[in-house]
Amino acid sequence: MVRFNFRRAVLAAFIMAFSFGFTASAQQAQTIKPKMPITEIAFAAQLLETIEIRGGEVDAFVEVKKAFIMTLEAAQKDKKKAEDVIAIEFTIGQAQNLLALLQRAKLTGADAERYKKFVDTVVSSAQPDNKK
Domain boundaries, the chain: 29-130
Please answer whether residues 101 and 122 qualify as being in contact, where contact means their C-beta atoms are separated by less than 8 angstroms: no
pLDDT, the chain, mean: 83
Is the pTM higher than 0.85? The answer reads no
Sign of the Cα torsion 93, 33, 121, 35 reads positive
**Residue, of 27 and 39, whose pLDDT is higher:** 39
Rounded CA gap, 44 and 116, in Å?
Answer: 11
pLDDT bracket for residue 131 (50, 70, 90): low
Side-chain half-sphere CA neighbours of 42 within 13 A: 14
pLDDT bracket for residue 111 (50, 70, 90): very high
Across 1-21, average pLDDT? 46
**Residue, of 12 and 45, whose pLDDT is higher:** 45
pLDDT bracket for residue 128 (50, 70, 90): confident
* pLDDT of 93: 94
